[in-house]
Structure 1
Amino acid sequence: MSEQQRLQVGDQAPEFSLPDADGKTVSLADYRGRSVVVYFYPAASTPGCTKEACDFRDNLAVLGDAGFDVLGVSPDSPEKLAKFRDAEGLTFPLLSDADKSVMTAWGAFGEKQNYGKTVQGVIRSTFVVDEDGKIAKALYNVKATGHVERLRKDLGV
């Protein structure tokens, strides 16, 4: 099996329009003119994904003050995302990519190692998209814990 496509710094970010936790469509194009952190995670309400989402929530003001919006994307249904958002007090959009087409286009779905086995699944990944819609950072196989802190250091915020 071939290595899945991975985005590189300078690539045009693949466009998307996905439903949020309330079923409203959110598009990457809505953020043109601002920098946006787009992160992909496997499943709402699981320990690692909850830790990562809460870290983004707790750093949202600092990221926002530095000009970065945040979008979280998972294959969960909008209903599950709404429960996750409400349970954890998340204040940034959570988007549903049920068919995983956006994740695939971004290189965030495919072969990965899970407990020593090669499986197909969501590859925990984070991207920074600049004001012009280009990839400024592409981070694959990130760890949930401590990731947001490292991202802030990388971004100088």
Structure 2
Amino acid sequence: MSTATDTLSPDHRAFSVSIEQPVFRMGVADGRWNLIRVEWPIALIEVSASVGTFVLRFELSGYPAQPPTAQLWDVNANMRLTDAHWPRSKGGRVGEVFRLDWNAGTALYLPCDRVTIATHPGWIAQMPAKLWRPDGSIVQYIEAVYELLHSADFTSPLVAAA
């Protein structure tokens, strides 16, 4: 018997399976994140913050063997979230990860992000526990963002979301 995932590419199939796993579904049920849509290899996932929500636009080609990369996204305008709408920091880790000066804001400065780890090979030895795990799931990345958006360092963007 054929299933809907039989016609998908291997990376798309792996992602589809991962978002059906209990750890992802529990995050949805708890209001931590929500899958908005998938247009392979792009997936939009909304992540809650202590104030508001943010949408991550994931590029997932090669998933899970290749790490994902994500940027903050404005779903209504279908473009990268404007600078004034980005999370702000009180001087800690939020500011280090949500860097407008890093890769023109098209990737988050996280050791599980494809673009960032490719340009920081030293992180492989410096922070192996935070690197992308090809045997894991998208939840690794989403949880890292969720934790930052609920940390004491997070403060609301300069401009509230519309």
- TM-score, length of structure 1 as denominator length: 0.27
| More strand, by proportion | 1
Whichever of the two has the greater Rg, that structure is 2
Q: Which has the higher contact order (CA 8 A, sep 6+)?
A: 1
- TM-score, length of structure 2 as denominator length: 0.26
